[in-house]
């Protein structure tokens, strides 16, 4: 499986709250967040890892350039206006075929992630598989509407009666999605959630895969929360 990580955000809220390290280098259970993700991906049969960082994150770039990985590491250094634009930059270096993308501050249990990736690797029906969770940890969550077979029918900004899942910030898809991504860029669309809506509108067959808990690290207090979450699961 090819993997990709978006680590191009500024982490401004962490800086304002007194965290001096760039977000990707904040440690959880003794590992920088980005290093933890890479190691999980390697244990989940990575054939390549593609990462984007912004131009101001010299510490993160130097950390990544110092790694000696057993698979190709495709590093993009560029500041972008949104995660969708970061994915567009990554689309130029991600090998063709299936890949799994996550943001650097998305924290999950390794066994949950491994099961999810295997499900998509084995899947022969869907164009993509989105990790969703009933655990709402985001300030502005993206709600995911599904049918009885967990096929995604819509992405919504607002909760509605009967809503069960929000996006977990982990996306598995094929390179066919890059056609829609290119169209979004050309049309001036912004934000990752609008790209996801465009995939549904284009008729892509997306399935939701439920993981009971995924957390984000957006604020200084989230670091301890994420650490406690992982410690409770034995990491």
DSSP sequence for 26-61: -EETTEEHHHHHHHHHHHTT-SEEEEEE-TT-HHHH
The confidence band for 11, taking pLDDT boundaries of 50, 70 and 90, is low
The whole-angstrom separation of Cα 64 and Cα 35 is 9
Task: Determine the angle formed by the axes of helices 58-65 and 33-43, rounding to 10 degrees.
Answer: 30
Structure confidence by residue, pLDDT tens digits, 183-210: 999 999 989 999 999 999 999 999 999 9
Structure confidence by residue, pLDDT tens digits, 142-151: 999 999 999 9
Task: Find the helix or strand (DSSP H, E) in which 89 lies.
Answer: helix 83-90
Return the pLDDT at 15.
Answer: 64
The confidence band for 17, taking pLDDT boundaries of 50, 70 and 90, is confident
The number of CA neighbours under 13 Å toward the Cβ of 13 is: 11
**Is the distance from CB of 172 to CB of 100 less than 8 angstroms?**
yes
In percent, the amount of the chain with pLDDT more than 90 equals: 87
How long a stretch of residues is the chain?
235
The confidence band for 141, taking pLDDT boundaries of 50, 70 and 90, is very high
Sorted by sequence, the CB contacts under 8 Å of residue 154 that are 6+ apart come out as 144, 145, 197, 200
The whole-angstrom separation of Cα 177 and Cα 205 is 11
Task: Determine the angle formed by the axes of helices 110-122 and 33-43, rounding to 10 degrees.
Answer: 50
């Amino acid at each position: 499986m090819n993997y990709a990580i978006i680590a191009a955000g500024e982490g401004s809220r962490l800086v304002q709250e007194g965290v001096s390290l760039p977000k990707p280098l904040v440690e959880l259970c003794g590992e920088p967040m980005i290093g933890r993700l890479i190691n999980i991906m390697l244990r989940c049969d990575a054939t390549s890892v593609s990462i984007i960082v912004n131009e101001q994150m010299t510490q993160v770039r130097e950390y990544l350039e110092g790694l000696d990985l057993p698979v190709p590491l495709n590093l993009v250094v560029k500041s972008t206006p949104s995660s969708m634009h970061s994915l567009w930059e990554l689309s130029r270096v991600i090998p063709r075929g299936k890949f799994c993308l996550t943001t650097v501050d998305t924290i999950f249990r390794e066994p949950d992630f491994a099961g999810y990736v295997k499900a998509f690797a084995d899947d022969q029906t869907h164009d993509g598989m989105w990790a969703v969770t009933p655990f709402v940890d985001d300030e502005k969550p993206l709600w995911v509407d599904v049918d009885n077979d967990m096929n995604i029918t819509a992405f919504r900004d607002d909760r509605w009666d009967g809503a069960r899942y929000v996006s977990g910030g982990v996306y598995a898809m094929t390179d066919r999605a890059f056609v829609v991504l290119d169209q979004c860029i050309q049309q001036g669309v912004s934000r990752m959630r609008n790209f996801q809506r465009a995939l549904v509108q284009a008729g892509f067959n997306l399935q939701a895969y439920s993981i009971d808990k995924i957390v984000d690290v957006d604020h200084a207090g989230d670091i301890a929360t994420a650490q406690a979450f992982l410690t409770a699961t034995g990491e």
